[in-house]
Amino acid sequence: MSDAERLVVALGPLGLDDGGEVLLSWRLRTVAAGAQVEVISGRPELAQQGRPWCRALGHGFVEARAHGFVLCKGPAHAARWLGAERAGAVDAHAQGAVVAHPPAHWALAPRGALVEAGTQPLHFALSDRELVWSDDAATLYAQGAAAQWDPATAIPWHERPALAPEIEDAVVQVMTFLIENETAALLVPARFVAQLHPHFREVMQLLALQVADEARHIEVFTRRAALVRGSLGTTSAGGQASLRTLVEEPDFAIAALLLAVLGEGSFLSLLWFLDEHGPDPITRTVARLAARDEARHVAFGLAHLQRHLQHDPALLPRLAAAIHRRHDALAHSAGLNADVFDALVVLAAGSLDPDAIARGHAAVVALAADMDRGRQRRLARLGFGADEAAALSALHTRNFM
Amino acid sequence: MSQSRKTLLLGAVAYDPKVVTIWEGFRDFFAAHELDFDVVLFTNYERQVLAHLDGAVDVAWNSPLAWLQFEAAAARRGRAAAAIAMRDSDRDLSSYIVVREGGGVGSLAELRGKTIAVGASDSPQATMIPLQLLREQGLQPGRDVEVRRFDVLVGKHGDHIGGERDAARALMAGEVAAACMIDGNHLLFAREGVLPAGSTKVLAQTPPYDHCNFSVFAELQDDPRLRRFVELLLGMSYADAAVRPLMDLEGLKQWLPGRISGYAQLERACAATSALAPLLALAEGLP
Ligand SMILES: [Fe+2]
Ligand SMILES: [Fe+2]
């Protein structure tokens, strides 16, 4: 090959130790294996760097020259990418973008990236599209990301409540209950996101955002609970038994049903109730903001269960069986902490006056009915008939979540 | 090859934990190609050469110095040694004698009376070959030039590069006038910042020489298992995802046939320093 036909790569003042190697590698991509390339720069030791550089990368070192060296491009770079695979496509709407069973050896590859063959497999328990995917995930994620609120500024913390002692006690007790439930609601998606194949990027992001939502809920409920008293209320064995069945549920679909559709669905009613009956602006605001997030959590649970059911109608009886199973498991536990029930009545009453208590009690009975209607409506959306939806809703835990 | 043994046994020196990964991986590769193959790891090359002479392994992955030790000891027993394969990266290496830019040393002759830093005493690339270059240029190490050794892990024949890095640091600290290192480490230390860009220059470089090889007794070269071993090595492709990570760890793109034309400088260095004598004395004591 004559000098005239060679590509000449001029590195300016650079050597192969301070960035020139990047420039050279970049330019070498434009030539085929076997081509000769002359490399020149102002560094006197360029040829002395070129010899080991070529050896390490599998290029031939042809000869040293006055201002550099000549190399013969080797086949190693191209060989490395033989057999590489495209891991779906970045845009979920593109044809074949989200595959049914992303392989373990795609591991942490971003969806749409080119994956080197021989990547060590990383096994994710949740790697079946029909089990986890929802076309709504991207939209729900975007809505969720846009709706993030700052606990420091979104709540009127400066409006420090000065409530009657029994009302403040009731707020503290309800907040204590909320924190405990939010903790379960954080742990469940946190566990599943760690088991989810990252190929389902939008679902992964949505679950992560859900975890972050719950972290904020825990923060603001804790802050309101401790604001005046500096201490929290009670947590009952029965309430914890109910939450434990959620945290320990290993099946993604069943967990979505029990937590998102039934639990967080019921919680929505509770938070709206607190927005309506909360005795101070802080309590009302934290309930309202949390409810906004919960509505998204419920929507995702419903969306991916609906998709799952389209592909696997046999899931429906499994879901019904899971509700029965949980009911049986909790049959001998106390259900809702009596302190929480009482606190809700007092909150809605606004005082311990008997007439007010009567109104408060009626409001809490109405709340339970509202929760029941919501559960029935959502169960019907999953495909249960009206009677079965009513029967299943009645089996839901008395702990609300 | 031991007649009583079915398995082809390879000896390798564990100069780094990655050696275990590499040879476990290659063992799987050979097993997948129905070659009954296993590996024995040694902590130092002398132990490996003695075991090889004794028939405890059939083939040894030898440093250039271990190759010369094996070849010389075999010759004393009337047996010939052969190198059957090597890495592409084992061919045509060079060692550099490096000085500080502007440090006032412009030629080898100007090293007279000064101190030069080298690596481990048994490192062909960082000590033996560059000091031989000085000798052949009329500078006797220890007499005309003071030698400061950075002995890290003697017995590993310089495979562990810590000694060379320490020598390079001593150069930049101004403790020595020059430092010896293999060309690839010169580039590596520049990238690491141990030798900042533009702060050093290569005062001299050795002619090209070769590094490791797979050594055997020559009369065993035609054993079917050894032939299969070489055939599988040479057929290993960097495009094969199953072996590419191992080839990356071992630092090669392709296995090549062995050659023994690249060891003359080291041979002269051994002759000048009687470097083979201790191993040969040990080998005499073998049954
Ligand atoms: Fe929440
Ligand atoms: Fe939630």
Same domain, yes or no, for A138 and A273?
yes
Is the per-residue pLDDT at A333 higher than 90? no
Whole-angstrom Cα distance, residue A115 to residue A209?
27
Question: Are the C-beta atoms of residues A69 and A61 closer than 8 Å to each other?
Answer: yes
Under an 8 A CB cutoff, do A83 and B245 touch? no
Do A48 and B190 lie within an 8 Å CB cutoff? no
pLDDT at A398: 86
pLDDT, residue B159, reads 79
Q: Is residue A49 domain-shared with residue A97, that is, in the same domain?
A: no
Domain C-terminal end among A78, A94, A114: A78
Do both A229 and A367 map to the same domain?
A: yes
Nearest CA of chain A to the CA of B50: how many Å? 32
Task: Please indicate, yes or no, if residue A55 is contained in any of the structural domains.
Answer: yes
* Contact by Cβ (8 Å): A347, A170: yes
Mean residue pLDDT of chain A comes to 95
Q: Which residue of B has its CA nearest to A53?
A: B184
Q: Let me know the angle formed at the C-alpha of A182 by A178 and A184, rounded to the nearest 5 degrees.
A: 125
Describe chain A by its helix, strand, coil percentages, rounded to 5.
60, 5, 35
- B219-222 contact pairs (CB < 8 A, 24+): B219/B79, B219/B80, B220/B1, B220/B58, B221/B82, B221/B84
Report the pLDDT value the prediction gives residue B164, as an integer from 0 to 100.
93
Hey, are the CB atoms on B238 and A53 less than 8 Å from each other?
Answer: no
Q: What is the mean pLDDT of residues B130-139?
A: 97
- Reported as a pLDDT band with limits 50, 70 and 90, residue A334 is confident
What CATH number is given to the structural domain containing A249?
A: 1.10.620.20
Residue A77: list chain B partners with CB under 8 A.
none
**What are A268-310's pLDDT values in tens digits?**
999 999 999 999 999 999 999 999 999 999 999 999 999 999 9
Measured between beta carbons, the chain B residues lying within 8 angstroms of A57 are: 253
- pLDDT value, residue A335: 81
In angstroms, rounded to a whole number, what is the distance separating the alpha carbons of residues B187 and A337? 70
- A137 in Cβ contact with A202 (< 8 Å): yes
Is residue A399 situated within a structural domain?
no
Is 80 exceeded by the pLDDT of residue A5?
no
Does A316 have pLDDT greater than 90?
yes
Tell me if A152 sits within 8 A of A117, measured CB to CB: no
- Which pLDDT value is given to residue A199? 98
The whole-angstrom distance between residue A23's C-alpha and the CA centroid of its chain comes to 40
Bridge-based pairing of strands B115-118 and B178-182 is parallel
Are A153 and A96 members of one domain? no
Q: CB-based contact (8 Å) between B6 and chain A?
A: no
- Same-domain status, A63 and A193: no
Q: A111 and A148 share a domain? A: no
Identify the bridge partners of residue A7 per DSSP, sorted by sequence position.
Answer: A37
Which pLDDT band, with edges at 50, 70 and 90, does B197 fall under? Answer: confident
Average pLDDT over residues A338-355: 96
Chain B residue numbers with beta carbons less than 8 Å from the beta carbon of A107 are: none
- Is pLDDT of A154 > 90? yes
Cβ neighbors of A175 (< 8 A, separation 6 or more) are A221, A222, A224, A225, A232, A233, A283
Question: Inter-chain contact B244–A80, Cβ cutoff 8 Å?
Answer: yes
Instruction: Convert the pLDDT of each residue in A7-51 to its tens digit.
Output: 999 999 999 999 999 999 999 999 999 999 999 999 999 999 999
Best interface-test mutation with A: which of B238, B240, B243 has the largest number of A CBs within 10 A? B238
Domain of A19, in residue numbers? 3-78
Residue in chain A nearest B243 by alpha carbon? A118
Give the domain-ending residue among A63, A92, A123: A123
* Contacts with A45 from chain B: Cβ below 8 Å: 201-202
* pLDDT tops 90 at residue B151: no
Domains annotated on chain B, with CATH? 8-90+210-284 (3.40.190.10), 95-205 (3.40.190.10)
What's the gap in Å between the CA of A201 and the closest CA on chain B?
26
CATH of the domain at A34: 3.30.110.40
- Inside any domain, residue A224: yes
- Torsion, CA B135, CA B140, CA B141, CA B143, rounded to 10: 180
Classify residue A142: in a domain, yes or no: yes
Sequence-distant (≥ 6) Cβ neighbours of residue B92 within 8 angstroms: A51, A55, A61, B208, B209, B210, B262
Domain presence at residue A88: yes
Q: Indicate whether B182 pLDDT > 70.
A: yes
Average pLDDT over residues A112-140: 94
How sure is the predictor about B2, in pLDDT bands with cuts at 50, 70 and 90? low
**Cα nearest neighbour of B97 on chain A:** A48
Judge if A106 and A28 occupy the same domain.
no
Alpha helices in A128-233 (DSSP H): 129-132, 137-146, 151-154, 165-193, 201-229
Residue ending a domain, choose from A93, A123, A153: A123
Q: Which two structure tokens, joined as six digits, stand for B236?
A: 């290993």
pLDDT at residue A1 greater than cutoff 70: no
Share of chain A above pLDDT 90, in %: 93
Is there a contact between B245 and A118 if contact means CB atoms under 8 Å apart? yes
Among A179-183, A350-354, B136-140, B149-153, the minimum mean pLDDT is found in B149-153
Beta bridge partners of B38: B9
The verdict on A116 and A141 lying in the same domain is no
Q: Indicate if the pLDDT at residue B287 is higher than 80.
A: no
Mark whether A17 and A39 lie in a shared domain: yes
pLDDT tens for each residue of B248-270 = 999 999 999 999 999 999 999 99
Q: How many domains does chain A have?
A: 3
Measured between CB atoms, does A133 come within 8 Å of chain B?
no
Could you tell me which residues are beta bridge partners of residue B117? Answer: B148, B179
Judge whether A212 lies within some domain.
Answer: yes
Phi-psi sector, A113: left (phi>0), alpha (psi -120 to 50), beta: beta
- Mean pLDDT confidence for A159-178: 97
pLDDT of residue A2: 63
Of A18, A52, A118, the CB nearest to B244: A118
Phi, psi dihedral angles at B181 (to 5 degrees): -160, 160
Say if residue A244 is in the same domain as residue A376: yes
Same domain membership, residue A167 and residue A288: yes
Assess if residue A23 is contained within a domain: yes
A&B contacts, CB < 8 Å: 69
Judge if A303 and A263 occupy the same domain.
yes
Q: Name the pLDDT band for A4 (thresholds 50, 70, 90).
A: low
Residue A167 is assigned to a structural domain of this protein = yes
Which pLDDT belongs to residue B155? 83
Residues 47 through 76 of chain B touching chain A, CB cutoff 8 Å: none
Cβ neighbour number for residue B71 with a 10 Å cutoff: 22
Identify residue A33 by its one-letter amino acid code: A
pLDDT of residue B153: 73
User: What pLDDT score was predicted for residue B1?
Assistant: 56
B199 part of contact set with chain A, CB < 8 Å: no
Maximum C-alpha span of chain B? 63
Percent of chain B exceeding pLDDT 70 equals 98
Q: d(Cα A27, Cα A15) in Å, to the nearest integer?
A: 15
